[in-house]
């Protein structure tokens, strides 16, 4: 069992317990009451634990932690800007609560400057529309695993969903309106986002459900599931995001495509493709589940095509 699978009282370093009952209470409140999203809770627990274990090794108590300790920890997480930003957000919120509960006097992360990241040009590699089509066409769907993998990858392709939201889908989230169906995703911050299911994706999900014997399953049971070792039946629990990443890598290799792509690459493809077709950015923003249009613009790779075209014209 990993540290992040344990309850906060058992998993946090001794430095918290040594600070007294108020510190333990605040830690439990933070991880069990303040954070409703499982993936956020797991990520925040990781960086809070890493930092507190480091302070413990350095002989610090909670009250002795300084902004210098905080800044050095964030700096050591470079060069990944996204990792630094996530860790800083986790630790700022955690120490804010410790201040509120009178465990420490000041938040050592309050004065730590976050890393700067350009507003445009995200780092996620974009899978192209022809590559996505090639990938879907390459999957052998004569067995249960193939039907499941096609349904999973097609859902990423035709909804632009985050892998965590995909893995959280339940049978009841596939909503039937008679003449059409939709998928209702649970997104970051507990937001729900309903996306219509296009005809081909609807058929592929239906084929997977039929092959897996899920038609009469409990409505609150998982939609996408791992399989038994003999690959003949579905297990009762949800797929883990890492399993989706692994199956995607395997399918990319089988299709003769680069394995650099991740589930997030399909979000980039969806945003870029729709903006190329002059779909209003407000509509694309809603489809992607972004709070701000500036976030949607980070996924826009149209400029990269222009750059490649210009490079090809160099007269050498």
Q: Are 66 and 111 in contact (CB under 8 A)?
A: no
Starting from the edge strand earliest in sequence, which strands make up the sheet with 174-176, in order? 174-176, 181-186, 192-196
Crossing angle of helices 241-254 and 129-138, in 10° steps, is 90
Q: Are 263 and 156 in contact (CB under 8 A)?
A: yes
Nearest to 167 by CA among 245, 98, 253: 245
Q: What is the pLDDT of residues 297-310, one digit of tens each?
A: 666 666 665 555 65
Radius of gyration of the chain (CA): 23
Separation between Cα atoms, residue 65 and residue 52, nearest integer Å: 9
- Phi/psi at 73 (5° precision): -65, -50
Global pTM reads: 0.64
Q: What is the pLDDT of residues 186-232, one digit of tens each?
A: 877 677 888 899 999 999 999 999 999 999 999 999 999 999 999 99
Q: What is the pLDDT of residues 54-105, one digit of tens each?
A: 999 999 999 999 999 999 999 999 787 888 989 999 999 999 999 999 999 9
């Amino acid at each position: 069992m990993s540290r992040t699978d344990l309850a906060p009282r058992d998993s946090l370093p001794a430095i918290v317990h040594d600070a007294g009952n108020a510190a333990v209470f605040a830690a439990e409140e933070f991880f069990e009451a303040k954070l409703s999203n499982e993936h956020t809770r797991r990520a925040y627990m990781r960086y809070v634990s890493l930092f507190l274990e480091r302070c413990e090794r350095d002989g610090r108590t909670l009250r002795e932690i300084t902004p210098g300790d905080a800044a050095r920890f964030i700096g050591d997480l470079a060069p990944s800007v996204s990792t630094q930003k996530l860790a800083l957000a986790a630790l700022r919120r955690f120490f804010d609560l410790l201040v509120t509960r009178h465990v420490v006097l000041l938040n050592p992360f309050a004065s730590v400057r976050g890393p700067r990241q350009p507003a445009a040009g995200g780092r996620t590699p974009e899978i192209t529309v022809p590559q996505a089509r090639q990938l879907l066409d390459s999957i052998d769907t004569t067995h249960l695993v193939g039907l499941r993998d096609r349904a999973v990858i097609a859902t990423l392709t035709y909804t632009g969903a985050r892998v965590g939201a995909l893995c959280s889908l339940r049978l009841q989230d596939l909503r039937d309106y008679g003449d059409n169906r939709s998928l209702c995703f649970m997104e970051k911050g507990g937001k729900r986002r309903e996306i219509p299911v296009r005809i081909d994706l609807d058929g592929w999900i239906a084929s997977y459900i039929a092959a897996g014997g899920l038609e009469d399953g409990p409505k609150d049971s998982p939609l996408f599931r791992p399989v038994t070792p003999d690959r003949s039946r579905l297990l009762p629990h949800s797929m883990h995001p890492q399993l989706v990443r692994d199956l995607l890598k395997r399918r990319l290799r089988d299709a003769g495509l680069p394995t650099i792509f991740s589930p997030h690459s399909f979000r980039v493809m969806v945003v870029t493709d729709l903006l190329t077709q002059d779909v209003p950015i407000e509509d694309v923003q809603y489809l992607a589940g972004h709070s701000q249009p500036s976030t949607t613009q980070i996924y826009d790779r149209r400029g990269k095509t222009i750059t490649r075209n210009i490079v090809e014209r160099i007269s050498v």
